[in-house]
Amino acid sequence: MLAVFVLTALILATQSAQFRGLENATAILTRSAEIGMIACGVSLLMIAGEFDISVGSLMVLAIYVFTGLTNLNMSPITAMSLAILAGALAGLLNGLVTLLLNIPSFITTLGAMLFWRGIVIYVLAGSFMSYQGDPQCLAPFGSLLFSHCRASVVWLVVVASVLQLVLVRTSFGNWVFAAGGNVQAARNIGVPVHRVKLTCFALCGALAALAGVSYVARYKTMQVSVGQGFELEAIAAAVIGGTVLSGGRGSILGTVLGVLFVSMIRNGLIHLLDSSYLHYPVTGVLLIIAVIINRRISSLTN
Amino acid sequence: MRDHQVTDRRSFFTTAAGATALGAAGSVGCRQPTVSHEDKPGSGMRLDFVAHGSNADAFWGAQHNGFMDFCAAYGIHGRFLGTRLDGDIGEMLANLDSVLSGPGDGLTLPISNANTFTEPIQRAIDKGLAVVAVNIPDFRPQEERLPYVRYVGGEPIATGEENARMTVKAFTKLAGRAPKRAVYLNHVPGVEVLDYRGQGMQTVFDTTGTQFDTLVIHSDPASAQDTIRAYVRKHPDLETIQTGNSRPAAWAIQALREMEQLGKHTEPFSAGRIYVGSIDIDPELLELIAAGECLGTIDEQPYMQGWYAAQLLYHWIKYKFIPGRDISTGPLVVQEKTLVESLIEQARQGIRA
């Protein structure tokens, strides 16, 4: 993946002078921040053998909770914490329904995706909501650090680093791989599979909520259409980054690379071909190529 | 050679082959942007339009056509960047970041939310770009307003007011009184301009004593029609339907026709019939107006918005010409049969929407 990323960056840089600058590189990083946080959670859950396609709707839920509570004069820090907690609890609920009722996670979270976004649309009666709290409180997420790089990028780096360390250096991380690789074998060696998966579901929801808070910090508005399609973009980035759909294999850093890669393609095509739409078919093709390459590598190592 | 070394080497070559194929495909597909003709007055100039809608939508398609037609006529390198989903501020800002990280002379964009766009517009101005607001202005007082050169477009609240006035006038002419109940169909919940249009309608209907509701419908026609049918059955006193765009008006008209409750302004008033008033244009809606099945629509003239936005930028960048005030492109009431029929062909060409 790294080789593909570097080669693509070189090609785009040689083809377009606009692509080469620091401003553009930092714009790509900033664009990747929220989707990257979501993709990290989705990837972790995929490694554990489950899916969550409600992440876009959980992001909207968190935005609504955060914006609504701050507009009611609650402290932004408290509102932020409650929004992330709401995301974690919604993720946990996804996990409980999936594991206790033995429903495929794709179906559970499909229902959750419709439920949470629909509830917010209903409550807002189709309207929008602007953040009316203290803008200074949003600085830890939304402030410009240098060029086009925002503080949200730092959060992505922290989240990705912590998750990667947990995955590769802790027993919990081993359990995640085991639970996703072979559930029965994992149980046989004493891995608390349900507990591991529930934790991953909750983390995934919390990260979607964190992305929602970051969104408000940047855009200072709440729209119910936010995050539509983010679940597919996150899964695509995870797969392009090497996470296997069947579970048991993957890397958070690979996922972040996948997110950056997709953002780079989107950005590069704007500079090269003056189009903001071409990256959709291109990303689709790249996703299929990535799966083919991943399968080839998997069969060789097996 | 050990197995893992074979695996490593095979993995490397597989990855490299994939990367090379990608690179080759990318190289073949790449082209430099079209160079403007040197003998045209705008040669060398670069203008960008960053929208929160897709060119696939008739309204933004007309904006795109107006903007790009002006650029082509003057030899300007024009670029229109839209979003996949209507009202997607996130994608719009990502496109804006891409624009601001490259060279350019001028930028035009709708100010979908003044708070959200304060910082990127200031960055654009600090970079030396001329900025013109199009389609949606900064609604704040002049002294607080974002420092763009000028605004060209309609006024969403006034557009909503005009839609309601048009409906009340037409309905009163038929029935001798104002409607008892009206409903506004919001087909893209969360898009601010649709909210503003609804606010304008509310203002007018409040003065006529009409009960006014907003109904959130789906942007999928079949689902939208289900919701409309359910609302109509639940509210037998409903007399008019207002829409924020031409597509939901056409869906509503079809649903009412199937329920045999469609009111036609070419026929005498009949209790229980429901009349439809729209905003924006497409060829199908114009034909419905000509056939008497829609009371009329409000045209913001989006082609003109795109055209004048490019023209304002060109004149400001090249000559520092600036009109004395913002340019209003609407609201324009489209109701008269002859006006409607002349617009149908223009709508098919993407000039009217």
Tell if the CB–CB gap between A148 and B91 is shorter than 8 Å: no
Closest Cα in chain A to B192: A128
Tell if the CB–CB gap between A24 and B19 is shorter than 8 Å: no
Examine residue A196 and state whether it is found in any structural domain, yes or no. Answer: yes
Please give the pLDDT value at position A64.
Answer: 94
Q: Using 50, 70 and 90 to split pLDDT, how confident is the model at B48?
A: very high
Q: Residues 6 or more apart from B121 whose CB is under 8 A from it?
A: B111, B131, B146, B147, B148
Tell if the CB–CB gap between B190 and A225 is shorter than 8 Å: yes
Please give the pLDDT value at position B16.
Answer: 47
Closest Cα in chain B to A218: B116
Residues from chain A that touch B187, judged by Cβ atoms under 8 A, are none
Give the pair of three-digit tokens for residue B277: 């008033």
* Count of A-B CB contacts under 8 Å: 154
Chain B nearest C-alpha distance from A194 (Å): 34
Q: Are B11 and A297 in contact (CB under 8 A)?
A: yes
Select the more confidently predicted residue: A133 or B48: B48
Residue B261 reports pLDDT greater than 90: yes
Angle (CA) B211-B216-B219 rounded to 5° is 140
Task: Pick from A276, A286, A300 the residue to mutate for testing the B interface (most B CBs within 10 Å).
Answer: A276
Please give the pLDDT value at position A115.
Answer: 96
Q: Are A264 and A35 in contact (CB under 8 A)?
A: no
Residue among A26, A221, A300 whose CB faces B7 most closely: A300
Instruction: Write down the number of H helices and E strands in chain B.
Output: 11, 12
| Percent of all residues in chain B with a pLDDT value above 90, rounded to a whole number | 60
Average pLDDT, chain B: 86
Q: How far apart are CA A256 and CA A41, in angstroms?
A: 11
| Residue B205: closest CA among B180, B235, B228, B227 | B180
Tell if the CB–CB gap between B98 and A27 is shorter than 8 Å: yes
Closest Cα in chain B to A10: B23
Residues from chain B that touch A20, judged by Cβ atoms under 8 A, are none
| Residue A57: closest CA among A28, A16, A26, A86 | A86
Euclidean distance between the first and the last CA atom of chain B, given in angstroms as a whole number: 68
Select the more confidently predicted residue: B37 or A279: A279
How far is the CA of B217 from the CAs of A89, A221, B287, B306, in angstroms? 29, 22, 24, 29
Q: Are B52 and B110 in contact (CB under 8 A)?
A: yes
Q: How far apart are CA B83 and CA B81, in angstroms?
A: 7
Chain B nearest C-alpha distance from A288 (Å): 11
Residues from chain B that touch A32, judged by Cβ atoms under 8 A, are none
| Percent of all residues in chain B with a pLDDT value above 70, rounded to a whole number | 89
Q: Using 50, 70 and 90 to split pLDDT, how confident is the model at B205?
A: very high
How far is the CA of B38 from the CAs of B16, B68, B312, B349, in angstroms? 43, 17, 21, 29
Task: Give me the phi and psi of B334, to 5 degrees please.
Answer: -110, 105
Examine residue A301 and state whether it is found in any structural domain, yes or no. Answer: no
Comparing A153-162, B23-32, B36-45, the range with the smallest average pLDDT is B23-32
Domain count, chain A: 1
Tell if the CB–CB gap between B98 and A23 is shorter than 8 Å: no
Give the pair of three-digit tokens for residue B78: 């024009």
pTM, whole model, 2 decimals?
0.80
Examine residue A302 and state whether it is found in any structural domain, yes or no. Answer: no
Please, what sign has the CA dihedral across residues B196, B202, B205, B207?
negative
Domain boundaries, chain B: 46-154+301-322, 157-299
Q: Residues 6 or more apart from B170 whose CB is under 8 A from it?
A: B265, B275, B277, B295, B296, B335
Tell if the CB–CB gap between B10 and A300 is shorter than 8 Å: yes
How far is the CA of A23 from the CAs of A150, B86, B343, in angstroms? 12, 27, 45
Residues from chain A that touch B93, judged by Cβ atoms under 8 A, are 218-219
Residues from chain B that touch A224, judged by Cβ atoms under 8 A, are 189-190
The CATH number of whichever domain residue A175 belongs to comes to 1.10.3470
Task: Pick from B64, B97, B202, B213 the residue to mutate for testing the A interface (most A CBs within 10 Å).
Answer: B97
SS3 state at B13: helix
Query: How would you write chain A as a 3-class SS string?
Result: CHHHHHHHHHHHHHHCCHHHCHHHHHHHHHHHHHHHHHHHHHHHHHHCCCCCCCHHHHHHHHHHHHHHHHHCCCCHHHHHHHHHHHHHHHHHHHHHHHHHCCCCHHHHHHHHHHHHHHHHHHHHCCCCEECCCCHHHHHHHHCEEECCEEHHHHHHHHHHHHHHHHHHHCHHHHHHHHHHHCHHHHHHCCCCHHHHHHHHHHHHHHHHHHHHHHHHHHHCEECCCCCCCHHHHHHHHHHHCCCCCCCCCCCHHHHHHHHHHHHHHHHHHHHHHCCCCCHHHHHHHHHHHHHHHHHHHHHHHC
The answer to whether A266 faces chain B, any CB pair under 8 Å, is: yes
Positions of chain A with pLDDT lower than 70, given as ranges: 126, 301-302
Please give the pLDDT value at position A301.
Answer: 66
Tell if the CB–CB gap between A271 and B29 is shorter than 8 Å: no
Residue A233 lies in domain: 2-296
Q: In chain A, positions 29-48, which contact chain B (CB-CB < 8 Å)?
A: 30-31, 34
The answer to whether A121 faces chain B, any CB pair under 8 Å, is: yes
Q: What is the mean pLDDT of residues B301-309?
A: 95
* CATH architecture group of domain B46-154+301-322: 3-Layer(aba) Sandwich (3.40)
The answer to whether A127 faces chain B, any CB pair under 8 Å, is: yes
Q: How far apart are CA A65 and CA B63, in angstroms?
A: 36
Tell if the CB–CB gap between A124 and B190 is shorter than 8 Å: yes
Q: How far apart are CA A36 and CA A264, in angstroms?
A: 13
Tell if the CB–CB gap between B100 and A297 is shorter than 8 Å: no
Tell if the CB–CB gap between A121 and B216 is shorter than 8 Å: yes
Query: Fold identical between B46-154+301-322 and B157-299?
Result: yes
Closest Cα in chain A to B77: A274
* CATH architecture group of domain B157-299: 3-Layer(aba) Sandwich (3.40)
Residues from chain B that touch A139, judged by Cβ atoms under 8 A, are none
Q: In chain A, positions 151-210, which contact chain B (CB-CB < 8 Å)?
A: none
Chain B nearest C-alpha distance from A96 (Å): 30
Q: In chain A, positions 277-296, which contact chain B (CB-CB < 8 Å)?
A: 277, 280, 286, 289, 292-293, 296
Q: pLDDT tens across B151-204, in order? A: 999 988 999 999 999 999 999 999 999 999 999 999 888 777 888 899 999 999
Q: pLDDT tens across B65-123, in order? A: 999 999 999 999 999 999 988 778 888 988 998 899 888 999 999 998 888 888 899 99
ipTM beyond cut 0.90? no
Residue among B11, B116, B189 whose CB faces A300 most closely: B11
Task: Pick from B36, B89, B98 the residue to mutate for testing the A interface (most A CBs within 10 Å).
Answer: B98
Chain B nearest C-alpha distance from A283 (Å): 12
Residues from chain A that touch B29, judged by Cβ atoms under 8 A, are 273
Examine residue A175 and state whether it is found in any structural domain, yes or no. Answer: yes
Q: Are A140 and A158 in contact (CB under 8 A)?
A: no
Chain A nearest C-alpha distance from B267 (Å): 35
Closest Cα in chain A to B4: A301
Exposed, middle or buried by CB within 10 Å (0-12, 13-18, 19+), for B34? exposed
The amino acid that residue B207 corresponds to is: T
Residue B144 reports pLDDT greater than 90: no
